[in-house]
Amino acid sequence: MLGLTAAALASEADADEVIIIDPDTDRRQSALAFGATRVASPTDAGLAEIDVAFELSGAATAVECLLGALAIGGRLVLAGSVSPGPRVAFDPEQLVRRWATVTGVHNYEPRHLQQAIDFLHRTSAVRPWASLVADPLPLEALNELLVARDGGPPRTAVKP
């Protein structure tokens, strides 16, 4: 969901191109409805000259892929690397020669939650946010909800 949100935010900010890179075919196709102008697999050729990249999965391979794809002056924002994982290999000389910037972001403030709600409300007519969350279930269905599910929307709400 972070990637879909990033695509929608970049699209609303009038980014020239919004590329979603994901190993899962279904998630790549979903990204088109949220503002992606192009989708790619991490193994696709031609992922170079990216000005700004957001890595949201925390996968070391994704970080390495994006580091290698940055344009001169490119920026990589790491938001998915929130737990320990494999080390990332990179060539510092390439980082220096390309004037690349890598930064991490973590946590948020209450005002960011309000901005998120405002964004969802403002874009609800053009982005299929409702398709990502199932209808709320009553509290009595909590046990059923905790059992593995077959497909469907990735998030479900419980209405107390």
Q: Are 113 and 93 in contact (CB under 8 A)?
A: no
pTM of the predicted model as reported, rounded to 2 decimal places? 0.85
pLDDT tens by residue, 88-140:
999 999 999 999 999 999 999 999 999 999 999 999 999 999 999 888 889 88
Q: Are 82 and 58 in contact (CB under 8 A)?
A: yes
Residue 7's nearest CA partner among 25, 27, 96 is 27
Q: For residues 95 and 83, give the distance between their C-alpha atoms in angstroms, rounded to a whole number.
A: 24
pLDDT tens by residue, 31-65:
999 999 999 998 887 888 999 999 999 999 999 99
CA distances (Å), 24 to each of 27, 30, 41, 74, in order?
5, 10, 8, 25
Residue 114 forms beta bridges with which residues? none
Distance of CA 124 to the CA centre of its chain: 18
